[in-house]
Chain A
Amino acid sequence: MPWPDDSLDSVPTQSFDDVVRLAAGLCGAAHAVICLQAGERLQAHASYSAAGTAGALAPDVCADAVVTDELLIVPDLLDDPEQLHRSLLARSAGTRFYAAVSLRSADGTVLGVLCVLDPAPRRDGLTSEQQDCLRSLARQTVTLLELRSEARVHRAQRILHERILDSAMDYAIIAMDHGGRITRWNGGAERILGWREAEVLGEPTHLIFTPEDRAAGRPETEMQLALARGSAPDERWHMRKDGDRFWASGELMPLKDENGTVQGFLKILRDRTQQRANESALRQAQEQLRLAVEATHIGIFDLDLVTGELAWDARVRALFGLPPDMPVSYDTFLAGLHPDDRGWVDATVRSALAPGGSGHVEIAYRTIGIEDGVERWLAATGQAILQDGRKTRFIGTVRDITEGRLAEQAIRETEERYRLAARATNDAIWDWNLASDHIRWNEAVQTLFGYAADEVGPSGSWWKSHIHPEDRERVKASIHAVIDGGTEHWTDEYRFLRADGAYAYILDRGYVLRDGSGRAVRMIGAMLDISARKRAEEHQRLLTGELQHRVKNTLALVQAIASQTLRGATNPEGARDALAARLISLGRAHDILTQASWTEAPIPDVVEGALCPHRPAGTSRIRTGGPNVLLAAKPALSLALALHELATNAAKYGALSNATGVVSVRWYVVHADDAPRFCLNWSELGGPTVSGPPVRRGFGSRLIERSFAAEVGGEVEMTYAPTGFTCRLEVPLASMQE
């Protein structure tokens, strides 16, 4: 039914029944009906039939009622020329008289009709009085309908409001009168505060305030504030029925009618205890995070993988050399990377964030500050966050590890230097754990001493067993004196057994590491092979000895020359000149030996050296020639001294004493049966006539005989022919070369 009866309707059904009864009575008709518009059709809403009337009224008697006019009177339906209302007859057989008045609202809308019907035709229709009455009743009906409609709308709204209020279970909505007494208490209030509405109606709102707020007059203050400012915030602890406290958040507002008169108050509260706790926990967590971030020098990044937005905190910005306010993007990140790291870092991040990627990144890279240009090492850890199986966010931390990296690099470089140094020096470097007797050797111990890797024993015992037996106890004593004593540095020299069985001379230097109590725990050192140095020292020693020997030998020669010269001296001046000339000759012979290897000298040089001071300038009066034979040092000296004496004599008495004489010096090697012999001929020609051998044999001839005659297996033949002096030497070649 479109207009169903409602027990709560403000307009009772009886009112409409009264109208139709009055209409029938006033018009003297058997029936009266109120039909109301129901879509296109009309439906009977209330009907009256006088008692004992003939012909029942069909329920839908007005269904086709047509209201063309304000008031329609049809005296006899059978006479209706247009048979407009014929259909009515069809339904209510026996109806002849019909009158209807339209039910129009103030805005002209036709709500329905009020009609009267009678079985008897009525020629006179209705009296004007009856017509007025019918109109009045129609107006009355419209008023009733409008009242009822309004009431229904109002009620529906009220119900809606009630439902809204009560369904707002998260909100305590409390209405109060002027004095703060509760007039309404919704479901949310019951749930949050614990009291049922019935328990609190008429009570002051003080009961939900804490005792301290009540004592401080908070409820009154709130109402004053609400009146003064239009609303008063209520953010404080409140009380539940069971005495529990909860954190309420809401406000108190004055309730005003349409004239602006204050009717009471409305309080709306939410229980924010959990949120407050959450917020507090969040704040605390944020604070902790902030402190942790602060303390650990961590920067945080957050990349939105959906929008591409990148968020960097101040520290990340600082690490990329950016001021705090500059906007950043993934490209900024790439731009800040060291060129050597840009490629692989980008690839790593992209691969981790790709569908199917691990979503996790843990890398270290270099940045070059975008604005400050500073190079830094950063360690970054990032984790993608999944939403519905899709990576939507990439969040993580970066940390400055420059210092550590530099330290690491320094250590690496130190190690590298150590390794290179160890390789460069070839020292056998050892690291000896004194508690376990374990020694760690570098590779040099193999290369230095010729051992295979598995032949090198990793222990102090192995080392000691390879020290030369004559040195072993001494070295053990010296190293243990350092270990057991308080010093740190140990140095010793000893011989160390090589793989080939020879001994290398070692300079070993070690450094003792001690624990907190001063106990030696470790020793590190290097064995330097000083065999070459030892050999050089030995060589030096031999050289020095040899030099000493030669010097003393030379001095002995000088002494002998001096002694011999003075023995035969007839006048001091002559002795002085002779001595000087002989020493000069000796010196020149030394020069030649020194220019050669000292141990031997080529004979042409020796001959030339001895004779050149005697060669008259610009002439070739001394002619020499012979094969290049190497002479040993002593024979070379003897030969030089001998030639000097011969040339001196030639200058004094022989071929060189006049202007034309010549001297021929020829030597050769004769290959005899047993051994080669060395021969030298000194011949003078063109000098003054020689009268015979000198009366007294001089130093020169004695020296020549001593040097080349019987004692050395040779022969010396001196001939004082009138044409010139000749001297022939012949000695085993070997005696001139050993």
Chain B
Amino acid sequence: MNSSAASPPVVALVAEDEALLRMEAADTLEEAGFKVLEVTSADAAMRHLEGTGGIDLLFTDVNMPGELNGLDLARAVADRWPAITIIVCSGATRPQPGELPPRARFIDKPYSPGLVKKVLRELRAA
């Protein structure tokens, strides 16, 4: 957690169409030591990953406007950039078994900043 001083900053990409939630997610991840990039759709996230890259954590909502939804994005990312840690969150339906890539984690909305930090710890430990 406090390794930011010793290593280059880890980058998180937040994909969330709701501005307030995106802001809250970004603040939470910044508090956790991430440099946060924000996009408002899975399509935009995919464009960023394909174009710029350099992402360590994908933090994505499921239901967003555009071609892809968050689950599609998560699977694509897990497939193409296996190094990227994935957290999927949603206030809607919990993903069915198999919908989520094996190493991805799901967080049910609403969530507390503490939960996000706990999940991040678990992911790093894994």
Contact = CB atoms under 8 A, between A and B. Distances in A.
Listed residue (B20, B22, B40) with the most chain A CB atoms within 10 angstroms of its CB: B20
A638 B19 contact: yes
A711 interface: yes
Contact of B19 (A549, A553, A558, A703): A703
B112 A559 contact: yes
B123 interface: no
Nearest to A702: B23
A553 B64 CA distance: 13
A641 B20 CA distance: 9
Contact of A556 (B27, B28, B109): B109
Contacts of B92: 545, 548-549, 552
Interface residues of A, number: 25
Interface string A551-573: 01101111111011001000000
B18 interface: yes
Contacts, number: 71
B91 interface: yes
Given A557-B18, A558-B110, A706-B19, A711 B24 contact: no
Contacts of B24: 559-560, 563-564
A703 to B, nearest CB: 6
Contact of A559 (B17, B38, B39, B110): B110
Contacts of B22: 706, 711
Given A557-B18, A706-B19, A567 B27 contact: yes
A43 interface: no
A738 interface: yes
A320 to B, nearest CB: 81
A556 B110 CA distance: 4
Contacts of A553: 18, 91, 109
A559 B111 CA distance: 8
B21 A707 contact: no
Given A552-B109, A711-B38, A712-B40, A638 B91 contact: no
Interface in B55-87: 63, 65
Interface in A538-593: 545, 548-549, 552-553, 555-561, 563-564, 567
B9 interface: no
B113 to A, nearest CB: 6
A553 B113 CA distance: 16
B20 A555 contact: no
A563 B18 CA distance: 15
A240 interface: no
Majority-rule SS of A interface residues: helix
Contact of A706 (B38, B63, B108, B113): B38
Interface residues of B, number: 24
Contact of B20 (A549, A557, A711, A712): A557
A184 interface: no
A638 B20 contact: yes
A70 to B, nearest CB: 169
A111 B113 CA distance: 177
Contacts of B93: 545
A706 B20 contact: yes
A37 B18 CA distance: 168
A555 B110 contact: yes
Interface string A516-557: 000000000000000000000000000001001100110111
Interface of A: 545, 548-549, 552-553, 555-561, 563-564, 567, 634, 638, 641, 702-703, 706-707, 711-712, 738
Q: Lowest 3 A-B CB distances belong to which pairs? A: A552-B91, A560-B24, A559-B110
Interface of B: 17-24, 27-28, 38-40, 63, 65, 91-93, 108-113
Given A556-B21, A634-B18, 16 more contacts: A549-B91, A552-B109, A552-B110, A555-B109, A556-B109, A556-B111, A559-B24, A559-B111, A563-B28, A564-B20, A564-B27, A638-B19, A706-B20, A711-B22, A711-B40, A738-B65
29 contacts: A548-B92, A552-B91, A552-B92, A552-B109, A553-B91, A556-B91, A556-B111, A557-B18, A557-B21, A558-B110, A559-B24, A559-B112, A560-B20, A560-B21, A560-B110, A563-B28, A564-B23, A564-B24, A564-B27, A567-B27, A634-B18, A638-B19, A638-B20, A702-B23, A706-B20, A706-B38, A711-B19, A711-B39, A712-B40
